[in-house]
A = this chain, B = another copy of it.
Amino acid sequence: MRLSRAFQPTLKEVPSEAQIASHRLMLRAGLIRQTAAGIYAWLPAGLRVLRNIARIVREEQDAIGAQEVLMPTIQSADLWRRSGRYDAYGPEMLRLKDRHERELLYGPTNEEMITDLFGGAVKSYRELPQVLYQIQWKFRDEVRPRFGVMRGREFFMKDAYTFDADYEGAVKSYRRMMLAYLRTFQRLGVRAVPMVADTGPIGGNLSHEFLILAPTGESGVFYDAALEEQDWLSEPVDIDDSASLAAFFDKVTHFYAATDEKHDEAAWAEVPEGRRREGRGIEVGHIFYFGTKYSESMGISVSGPDGAPLYPEMGSYGIGVSRLVGAIIEASHDEAGLIWPDAVAPYKAAILNLKPGDSATDAVCERLYAAGAEIFLYDDRAERAGVKFNDADLMGHPWQMIVGPRGAKDGTVELKRRATGERFELSVEDALAKVLGA
């Protein structure tokens, strides 16, 4: 994309209500615009990030055998009356009526609907387990929306649901999802640490929140640094084998990790001092086993091995896709602007033409651009070099390919790595190879 044509309006001044870095930087870099309180439009560069995240989330869900569906945003109130949650859910539920005065709501989550869809489709325990997920817009009417997309009202979320014939099956499903989550976050270029969360009346240890370390996080967190150092992508886990899943799960949960609510000073003291990490964390995912809560309350069963009705054991598993855009920025930015991890960046590199109109400079830039018009943002604007440097730093492309008249004459490009500030003087071919190979 040529920046002269791109719909990416940068801002010098941001509204004072943008209190945190991710909110300010998303507005300044032209990724989003607010259209109502807590509701945002995604501009092209922001949408590219959102979609990169969604793609990685999807690939890792698919990898554990989850099947993607897409449920509507508007749900019937009657569906929620069946589980008893319509009255129980507070004012965060956006309730509405259609022209025939039928009560509807904008889905804040989908346990009821997926349980109902499951019930209409699956008749026998032999068809279990089932793992269904969607990536869809949801609405929670926060009383005081703030922090941009981190606590918006209309938000994009991956929600998965598992259905198993028994507790042992549910545990396997839960552990598979734990693996998918760890791999997802690692691929996104952030480390989200799983921490035991409340299970409510169900008890047990099958509820984890995933938190990204960032100073603006809503919770205090304490964890063993060893958790960040694991390579979950190469961790050998056979997702069809209970023992392999159990070994993996033990490895994850054996390291200390807790939010302040669950913090245990005695256990913390046993973590070697050099590995203790303490700070604040942003919740970006939550996995939760809740047994037969919805299947029983909604009367959804399959026929069991003995022919009697069997209420599936269920779990639900969320990842805040739009929230992740903000959370990644909170964890990865500096004074000058965004610093995108490679996997989620809207463009792999910016091409900075320091002298548009100079034929040698233009020629080198066009050669670079021709190698990846889809994945490079070419700053071809008639602006001063300083403006281009600042905008490229603000937008946070992983690489900057800087082309001036002097280098162009020699056929060289100055390559800058945004995250580290490292600079390389390279031929056009070597610069491309480094950027595309990275």
Contacts and interface: CB of A to CB of B under 8 A. Distances in A.
Interface of A: 1, 5-7, 9, 30, 33, 35-37, 39-44, 47, 50, 65, 67-76, 79, 91-92, 94-99, 102, 104, 106, 113, 116-117, 120-122, 130, 132, 137, 139, 141, 143, 153-154
Given A99-B141, A104-B36, A137-B137, A121 B7 contact: yes
A154 B36 contact: no
6 contacts: A35-B71, A39-B76, A42-B69, A74-B153, A74-B154, A94-B98
Interface centre among A1, A79, A92, A96, by most chain B C-beta atoms within 10 angstroms, is A96
B42 A70 contact: yes
Given A9-B120, A67-B6, A121-B9, A40 B72 contact: yes
A76 B35 contact: yes
Given A41-B117, A96-B94, A96-B96, A132 B7 contact: yes
Contacts of A94: 74, 96, 98
A92 B98 CA distance: 9
Contact of A74 (B30, B43, B139): B139
A66 to B, nearest CB: 10
A91 B116 CA distance: 30
A267 B73 CA distance: 47
A44 B73 contact: no
Nearest to A79: B35
B141 A33 contact: no
B36 A76 contact: yes
A143 B99 contact: yes
Given A50-B70, A70-B47, A96-B96, A41 B113 contact: yes
Contacts of A153: 74, 98
Contacts of A75: 35-36
4 A-B pairs with the lowest CB-CB distances in the bound complex, closest first: A9-B121, A96-B96, A42-B70, A36-B76
A433 to B, nearest CB: 26
A68 B49 CA distance: 12
A295 B99 CA distance: 30
B44 A98 contact: no
A37 B116 CA distance: 15
Given A41-B117, A99-B91, A154 B33 contact: no
A133 to B, nearest CB: 10
A25 to B, nearest CB: 17
A76 B40 CA distance: 11
A342 B312 CA distance: 37
A1 B113 CA distance: 24
Given A7-B132, A35-B116, A95-B96, 8 more contacts: A7-B69, A7-B121, A9-B121, A39-B72, A41-B72, A43-B69, A92-B99, A99-B141
A268 B99 CA distance: 42
Interface centre among A5, A42, A72, by most chain B C-beta atoms within 10 angstroms, is A72
Contact of A41 (B33, B50, B69, B104): B69
Contacts of A104: 36
A67 B39 contact: no
Contacts of A96: 94-97
Contacts of A91: 99
Given A7-B130, A9-B120, A41 B70 contact: yes
A37 to B, nearest CB: 8
B69 A154 contact: no
Contacts of A120: 9, 33
A9 B42 CA distance: 35
A18 to B, nearest CB: 15
Nearest to A1: B67
Contact of A44 (B68, B71, B72): B68
Contacts of A98: 94, 141, 153
Interface centre among A39, A98, A121, A143, by most chain B C-beta atoms within 10 angstroms, is A98
A432 to B, nearest CB: 23
